Amino acid sequence: MRRISLNSHIAIHTKNKPYICSNCGKSFAIKSELTIHKKIHSDQYQCNICFKTFVVPSKLQRHLRTHTNERPYQCPYEVCKKMFTDQSNLSEHINTHKSMRDIKCRQCDKHFKTKNQLRSHMLTHNFNTYTCDICKKSYRYKTNLILHMKKHTGYKCSFCDKNCETFSVFMRHRQGCIGK
């Protein structure tokens, strides 16, 4: 092993992190990790809504879909209408169709891959459930439904009526509204 490689390898196993980012103070054991990290402070790939930064433009494009709810990747199975923000989530979803076993709920005709999934699903039939009026998803507890509803309604600013999808974006927006 070369001396530089050995030193870098040893640094991983010790708590010694001498390379410090001048922008945020985060420290690294290896200089190359600091170099990669510094790219996140570049304004080149920054979300103009929540100001989160990205090292590569494709990650920013995917992130922007969280604000717009854009879902350009649609499941090719005719009976399925699901859409996804990125190709990897679609691919993962398609695998559920390919490996779908015929374990069917007798009460609502939903299909499941495993008996455990069916067992878990059956709980929704055995208890009072709380159902979303918008997408018909059911929850055993009312608090879970309330949290779920935020996906549809977001967090509304009482100063300017703007809707924000996540609490962190809402808080950042609200601080700006209060300061005006």
Task: Determine, yes or no, domain membership for 34.
Answer: yes
Task: Determine, yes or no, domain membership for 140.
Answer: yes
pLDDT digits 0-9 by tens, 24-63: 888 888 788 888 777 777 667 788 888 888 877 888 888 8
* Total number of domains constituting the chain: 2
Q: The pTM is what?
A: 0.34
Instruction: With beta carbons less than 8 A apart as the criterion, state whether 82 and 66 touch.
Output: no
pLDDT band at 1 (very low <50, low <70, confident <90, very high): very low
Dist CA 70 CA 84 (whole Å): 8
H or E stretch at 84 = strand 83-84
Task: Determine, yes or no, domain membership for 169.
Answer: yes
Parent domain of 18: 1-41
Whether the pLDDT of residue 3 is over 60: the answer is no
